[in-house]
């Protein structure tokens, strides 16, 4: 897969993909660590996490695909959580925008 073929996936999807692979064969050490991490931190099904990404993309013009997927993985429930997602981005959402993001996230929790 070339650089142009890459796509974002949620941590829920990673968990699902690696779990399916584990049923077929023995995982490498790194894959086992990734699965363990995903099992520990995943709170939504892959279906719900993708619905959340879609809703975020539909409702917030300032969210690019990377930030929408990151939001679906982190599931911020307060201002600090939203700030953490945007910490490396040039744009910082207003308090009102952050509160709206939190409202959308909480619908899925």
> CB of 93 within 8 A of CB of 64?
no
Rounded Cα distance between 60 and 63, Å, is: 6
36 is in which domain, residue-wise? 9-41
Residues 74 and 50 in one domain: yes
The pTM for the full model equals 0.89
pLDDT tens, residue by residue, 58-92: 999 999 999 999 999 999 999 999 999 999 999 99
- 104 plus 52 within the same structural domain: yes
**CA distances (Å), 22 to each of 13, 27, 33, 38, 60, in order?**
14, 6, 12, 14, 37
Token pair belonging to 82? 């939203």
pLDDT digits (tens, 9 = 90+) for 11-59: 999 999 999 999 999 999 999 999 999 999 999 999 999 999 999 999 9
- What residues have CB less than 8 Å from 20, skipping those under 6 apart? none
Q: How many domains does the chain have?
A: 2
């Amino acid at each position: 897969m070339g650089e142009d073929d890459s796509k974002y996936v949620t941590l829920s999807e990673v968990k699902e993909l690696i779990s399916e692979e584990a049923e077929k064969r023995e995982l490498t050490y790194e894959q086992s660590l990734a699965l363990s991490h995903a099992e520990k931190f995943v709170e939504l099904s892959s279906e719900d996490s993708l619905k959340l990404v879609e809703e975020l993309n539909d409702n917030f013009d300032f969210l690019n695909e990377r930030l929408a997927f990151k939001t679906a993985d982190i599931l911020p429930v307060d201002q600090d959580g939203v700030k953490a997602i945007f910490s490396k981005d040039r744009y910082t959402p207003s308090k009102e925008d952050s509160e709206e993001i939190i409202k959308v996230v909480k619908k899925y929790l």
